[in-house]
Chains A and B, each alone.
Chain A
Amino acid sequence: MTTFSILDVEIQEIEGAKTLFGDSLTTFPMAMVILDPYTLESSWILDTADRILSHFQGADVRVALVVAGSDPEGAASFLGPLPDRILTFVDRERKLVKELSVKSLPSFAVVRQDGSVLGIAEGWNPTEWRELADNLAEMTSWSRPEVPSSEDPAAYQGTPARGTVSQVIPTDAELVEKVIIRFAGDSGDGMQLTGDRFTNASALAGNDLATLPEFPAEIRAPAGTLAGVSAFQVQISDHDITTPGDAPAVLVAMNPAALKSDLHLLVNGGTVIVNENTFEERNLEKAGYSQNPLNEGSELDGYRVIKVPMTELTKEVCKDLGVKPRDADRSKNFFALGLVSWMYSRPVEPTVEWIEEKFAGKDLVIAANKAAFQAGHAFGETAELGDQRVAIKAAPLPSGTYTSITGNTALSWGLIAASHLSDRPLFLGTYPITPASDILHELVRHKRHGVMTFQAEDEIAAIGSALGAAYGGYLGVTTTSGPGVALKSETLGLAVSLELPLIVVDVQRGGPSTGLPTKTEASDLMLAMYGRHGEAPLPIVSASTPSDCFDTAIEAARIALTHRTPVILLTDGYLANSSEPWLLPDPSSLPEINVEFATEFNQTNEDGDGVFWPYMRDENLARDWALPGTPDLMHRIGGIEKEDGSGNISYDPDNHGYMVDLRQERVQKVQVPDLEVDGSQDYELLVVGWGSTWGSIKGAIGRACKDGYKVGHVHLRHLNPLPNNLGELLSKAEKVLVPEMNLGQLSKIIRAEYLVDAKSVTKVKGVPFTAAELDLVLRETLDG
């Protein structure tokens, strides 16, 4: 029963200082109430905890509150003034909870000075709490506290201590497997935030999910217009899903323009929830409606329409708070969120807590948003929407710790991870561009990992600075989108010639030119392959899901650092902004990246003296790399053709031919794991995909295979060089399809490389394929 290892658990005081649990025990035992701030169960016990702990404050006992799974700010907003009176710790990663083997929270625990446990009472079980309190009183010769008191709540069970928000499935809710919801409104309506909050609550409820945020290109398109519509689609499910879904079942339309632009996406007979206050003349006109669609006999016939005066109701609940009507108007998205949260039985605590955290210091805003959220929730309960309520059970995901992550965040973390794994500090040189800027915003916050970020004067300087830092021994990275890659191409050629490691991240967006800056596309593959002057081959990798951006970034770094080459990493606007639950990897399972530097001479000159030749190579043809600062190995590198080995300038024709071949061979030397076929193993049709089409292809193939179609799927992370077994897999197929968000760039490469009749399936509209679209194509291909 005794676990002394808890002495070594690191915990954090609410003021921020970190300490070992053992150090906080001092000469007294410790009595703790451990809480989970995401649950109502823990909040109900605060007064009781206060009373019991305060009772022991005069005794030879240290008393403390422990808040699990939260940071200090979150704990502070959960506890209110309590930390002023009672020592409070944050057990952010729930390590203490784990070491104590606590199963549910809240719980009351007493640990002796040596780390052994006197007892733990879990949940709110008054009898167990009283026994433990009595034992403690006896041990310390102190009086017994009153447990329970008349004010204490009745006994109840706790919530899982390891962090799942218990999703209480209401009795009046109908269980469904999955649902697709689309939030749409004016870009000033806060739809992205609403969708994001809904997603988060769903993640905490244990659902699998996938999201698709869609932004307008203009930051402030005229309010109420079609151009200003911003939408967020999310699919939540009780099983494994791979896409944000085809057609939404529910559309939340905050204004006529949102209804006009997105209604066609909805399934037949789907539910439309509208903010009816916005359906007045001016807005209708701006959206292009000649008459109010909320009236009978409109395009809304055949849909279930729920008209809610959201603006009015929000203003009403805010009035008593002293919030001005104009300010109250800004909280109406929380009303919508509250209503939809009720309809889908989402836990409310995470949202309430988030509001408090996010708007900390702005009390009126907190009050207004909370009031609107609660009013929306109550509206669902009291209005006659009873038959609308559904619940989605938690998905049976593999067990472990999860976080909800977007592609841009995962990519940033992957770069940081690569920096740890290679022991090379990370340098990001970049110039802001949608949809890549969030990588800069994320990395700039990670100075604790030694990350250096540099916002350059343009894309050329961005890649130049990254190359300069790489030359100095950093993991040099530059992030951009298509227009930026175009500007970087000359420096990429230089990096190919210098044979220095460098990562260029291209978060692809709609082109050409400014194109569709906020929409997704995957049309830069040929640019990545061939978009440089001269023969300048380089390895290319691409990510297939938001969380896959993490692993792909590490892979890009591995190739760059060990092969001394620039690498292009392709993601796209869809991966960048959409999110999915991610089972966190065990850091110790991530492979180290071994980078060796030259410190000795590697040649002897005619006089018998040692010299350093920068273009001597290892078995992978990676050149010897001596960092500036290394004594005696001074050397010069440059973009002029050089002699292999010595690196001396050479204009010799044969040498150039040799070097051109060699640079190509260097790319071929990159080890690429063999592909594994998903779906049918004895496929007639092989679908070859790359990038963010993974989810839609997987969804489509799942459906087709279920109906007996023999379809296999391979997805390429490595686009250059291609996996060794791709040719063999293609040769086994009767038919080959390559779906891409471009006009057939990979299919051209495959046709050229393997001489197979790879058919291209294209969609270049700024939105991803849906699984249904691809499913249809698969069936037609095999039936036809």
Chain B
Amino acid sequence: MANTKTDSSQTTKADWTSDQEVRWCPGCGDYSILTALQLLMPELGVEREKTVFVSGIGCAARFPYYMNTYGMHSIHGRAPAIATGLALARPDLDVWVVGGDGDMLSIGGNHLVHALRRNVNINILLFNNQIYGLTKGQFSPTSEVGKVTKSSPIGLVAKPLNPLSVALGSEATFVARTHDMDRAHMQEMFRRAHQHKGASFVEVLQNCNVFNDGAFDAITKKDARDDMLINLDHGEPILFGSEKQFGVMADDGEVSIVNVDEVGQESILVHDENREDPSRAFALSRLSETPDTPTPMGVFRAVERDEYAVSLKAQIDGVVKDQGRADLNELLHSLPTWEV
């Protein structure tokens, strides 16, 4: 939900930048995400004092310190829960949650799932670098099978989580993916997330150049993008490739990549982000298992559902409207009383 700026004075990136020194490793993908957002905020027409960034712990979670807004750097995994309380108490605020893949899908997985399910009005940005950055390089719940890390020297054995599948399985109403190499695309996704009423979830593929460098190179490098990134545009057939020679086809509940020439243009799936049933979006989220095959980018799902705080507030307001506000005296006399 947008807090439209009442004050007409325009802000710039500088107004959204705090006086704190940014402490990510040089070259970290987090920088470009920060810049994208600081540049976007003035365009959203929101007020700094009405904006709050809440985070857990991790490199990504340092984010709030660098935004000249209200902010809380909390504890590992709990940001969605804290943000939920804040958003319920203060629907006038614009609440953002930022965290890493470990923060939100491992220790905080439960909170993420329930924040999405409830459709609390918060914008959740998950910086997925497929590694534990802050603790210096252990595998994360999104690391791929076989990955060699400090804590998996012979290779990781467990299957990773797919963040978008998790979000869609959690009844999320807005689910999108973007990556740190494309500022315009990030800004578009963040703008859409901000516009959406209810919980929005954006996965940002983020390069950790120290512990997992190049994890997304195969798909996000400029020369790879045409063939490896599948842009999802609402109402458009899902096509990709330099000549738009590839497409996505749906068949019997599954989606697959096809050669347009072979199946014909009319067989290509037209993207519908508003589809109530999440299974198509889910199928799209499963299109690539690892970031070395063609990977969809964009808004997977954007549907409307009652926002939690609004519904909760409506219940309270409804009771107050029907029965009036109560004072202390009435409270004390709400059970049978007797006089001595």
B329 within 8 A of A: yes
Indicate whether A450 sits within 8 Å of B325 (C-beta atoms), given known contacts A93-B333, A403-B336, A476-B85: yes
Contact A206 B85 (CB under 8 A): no
Q: Which of A92, A400, A416, A639 contacts B339 (CB 8 A)?
A: A400
Contact B49 A630 (CB under 8 A): yes
Q: Which of B68, B78, B84, B332 contacts A587 (CB 8 A)?
A: B332
Contact A465 B333 (CB under 8 A): no
Report A100 CB to chain B, min CB distance, Å.
Answer: 15
For this complex, into which size category does the number of interface residues on chain A fall?
35 or more
Chain B residues lying within 8 Å of A466, measured Cβ to Cβ, are: 85
Interface positions, chain B 20-52, Cβ under 8 Å from A, are 20, 47-50, 52
B242 within 8 A of A: no
Contact B89 A464 (CB under 8 A): no
Chain B residues lying within 8 Å of A252, measured Cβ to Cβ, are: none
Indicate whether A639 sits within 8 Å of B75 (C-beta atoms), given known contacts A69-B337, A399-B340, A629-B90: yes
Closest residue of chain B to A409 (Cβ to Cβ) is B335
Q: Contact flags (1/0) for B297-312 with A, using CB distance below 8 Å? A: 0000000000000001
Indicate whether A461 sits within 8 Å of B110 (C-beta atoms), given known contacts A429-B85, A476-B85: yes
Closest residue of chain B to A630 (Cβ to Cβ) is B49
Chain A residues lying within 8 Å of B47, measured Cβ to Cβ, are: 631
Inter-chain contact total with CB atoms closer than 8 Å: 220
A165 within 8 A of B: yes
Interface positions, chain A 384-402, Cβ under 8 Å from B, are 394, 397-402
Contact A452 B312 (CB under 8 A): yes
Q: Which of A417, A452, A465, A473 contacts B82 (CB 8 A)?
A: A465
Contact B89 A634 (CB under 8 A): no
Contact B78 A628 (CB under 8 A): no
Q: Contact flags (1/0) for B191-204 with A, using CB distance below 8 Å? A: 00000000000000
A326 within 8 A of B: no
Q: Contact flags (1/0) for A376-387 with B, using CB distance below 8 Å? A: 000000000000
Report B316 CB to chain A, min CB distance, Å.
Answer: 5
Closest residue of chain A to B317 (Cβ to Cβ) is A447
B331 within 8 A of A: yes
Closest residue of chain B to A456 (Cβ to Cβ) is B81
Contact A402 B81 (CB under 8 A): no
Q: Which of A401, A413, A449 contacts B338 (CB 8 A)?
A: A401
Q: Contact flags (1/0) for B315-335 with A, using CB distance below 8 Å? A: 110011001111111111101
Contact B324 A628 (CB under 8 A): no
B74 within 8 A of A: yes
Q: Which of A18, A93, A469, A637 contacts B86 (CB 8 A)?
A: A469
Contact B323 A402 (CB under 8 A): no
Contacting chain B: which of A109-117, A156-164, A280-288, A723-731? A156-164
A454 within 8 A of B: yes
Tell me, in angstroms, the Cα distance from A457 to B320 when the chains sit together: 27
B64 within 8 A of A: yes
Indicate whether A468 sits within 8 Å of B85 (C-beta atoms), given known contacts A473-B90, A498-B72: yes
Chain B residues lying within 8 Å of A476, measured Cβ to Cβ, are: 85
Indicate whether A471 sits within 8 Å of B72 (C-beta atoms), given known contacts A402-B340, A427-B88, A465-B85: yes
Tell me, in angstroms, the Cα distance from A184 to B328 when the chains sit together: 37
* B interface residues, Cβ below 8 angstroms from A: 18, 20, 47-50, 52, 54, 57, 64-65, 67-75, 78, 81-90, 92-93, 110-111, 113-114, 312, 315-316, 319-320, 323-333, 335-340
**Interface pairs A-B: 7 shortest CB-CB:** A468-B85, A638-B73, A465-B85, A464-B81, A461-B81, A468-B86, A162-B339
